[in-house]
Structure 1
Amino acid sequence: MEWLIFIIFILALVYFLIRQLVMIYNNMVMLKNNCYKAFANIDILLKKQVDLLPMLTAITQKAMEHEKALFNQLTENRNSYLQAMALDEKIKLANQLFPQLKTSLIIAEKYPELISGKNLRLLQTQAKELEECIADRREFFNQSVTLYNTEIHIFPNVLFKLIFNFKDIPLFYPSSKEATL
């Protein structure tokens, strides 16, 4: 009878030990999967942000081309007038310069509308909202990673880390440029 109680005790102890080890392993796997899930949520937003770049680039490029054309036109008009020697030539250039200058000023007045146009403002707003969402999700990701990395470094979990090759997951830091903005 004593042997039966001893065997039942040993079996119960083995059962609870195995159960504990399985729970530790499952917890480590769950935390690791939470990290991947958290990054997948960030990845979706990063892809949306990357998709905005061509549109922002195109609108900005259009504005820069407009600015370049405006300055080139004004520079050419100024240089032509300054190089003119004859009175007739100066009058002719002045007659051409005034309407061009007036047109340039009108274009320059409209230029801020081009830069802060509806499409660009909308894209900038979307980019800012995406960055705020990314920052929120990055915080959640880093919390998940910290929990996972801590879990795989405590005893006896570190044994599972070695046996099952669990690896640390790096934290997701904002870029140094972003941090200064």
Structure 2
Amino acid sequence: MRDLDTRISQEMTPEVFAVASRLYAEKSQEYSLQELMEAGAEAQIPPEFIQQAYQEIQIKRQQAQERRKKLIIILASVGVVVGGWGIWTYNSLASAAQKVDSAWAQVENQFQRRADLIPNLVRVTEASAKQERDLAALLTRSRTSYLQADTPGEKAVASTQVSQAINQFQNYVANNPQLQSSQAYINLQYELAGTENRIAVERMRYNQAIQAYNQKVKVFPNSVVAKILGFESKPLFKAEIKEVPRIN
């Protein structure tokens, strides 16, 4: 090593020792119990106290390690429980949403059935009178609107238009005794009455499915999972304000 005879100022000496101590500590991070006892002897600390201190520190570290292990196990268990609950909640919400979709499909089936009756209504009203031609055109337009609807909301609105057109047909027939007595109209009355009753039943089932779904979405803590996963409340399907056709 060069420069061994270099003179170091008194002001610089403490800093040299501090850096040297740090470098030595970094190089040698472990000490034997014997070395600690020897160092303790220089500080006039009896060896048995060094040994006792070492044992106490070992016990504390073991206890801390055990606590960390227990904490990890607890956190892992909580994670498994929360994850399992989250999966169960998602499946429950998804199942409820599927029931809503299935119930709506049944409502749509009955809407379609009613819309499919319109061509028969048009044939019943076929005549040269302007009122009858206008009624036939109204019935046809309402059916076309329903067939062109895509979303549940659009179909509900279009179905209301179909219902209103059928109401006008019923009013027209009420003022036409000859048409009331025709077998074609009587058959249609049975079809319309049955369809309207089925629509009412399926609409009720759909709203029941909506209520069950909304309850799952809104109740805590399901609401937390629902919000994270994008499950939102759905509106009820309000009944159309109309009477079920009567069979004369």
Partner Cα distance (1:23, 1:116) in 2: 59
Would you say 1:10 and 2:75 are equivalent positions?
yes
Would you say 1:42 and 2:94 are equivalent positions?
no
Q: How many residues align?
A: 136
Using the size of structure 2 for normalisation, the TM-score is 0.48
Bigger-Rg structure (1/2) = 2
The partner residue of 1:163 within 200, 203, 228 is 228
Partner Cα distance (1:175, 1:19) in 2: 43
Partner Cα distance (1:178, 1:162) in 2: 40
Whichever residue aligns with residue 166 of structure 1, its letter is: F
Partner Cα distance (1:127, 1:38) in 2: 21
Partner of residue 55, structure 1: 120
Partner Cα distance (2:209, 2:221) in 1: 20
Contact 1:60 1:115 in 2 (8 A): no
Partner of residue 123, structure 1: 188
Would you say 1:147 and 2:212 are equivalent positions?
yes
Shift of 1:139: 0.7
Partner of residue 101, structure 1: none
Partner Cα distance (1:176, 1:114) in 2: 25
Q: Which runs of 5+ in 2 are unaligned?
A: 1-64, 133-175
Whichever residue aligns with residue 99 of structure 2, its letter is: N
Q: Which runs of 5+ in 1 are unaligned?
A: 69-110
Partner Cα distance (1:178, 1:161) in 2: 38
CA RMSD of aligned residues (A): 2.8
Using the size of structure 1 for normalisation, the TM-score is 0.65
Partner Cα distance (1:173, 1:35) in 2: 15
Contact 1:31 1:144 in 2 (8 A): yes
Shift of 1:161: 2.8
Partner Cα distance (2:89, 2:78) in 1: 16
Q: Determine what percentage of the aligned residue pairs are the same residue.
A: 26
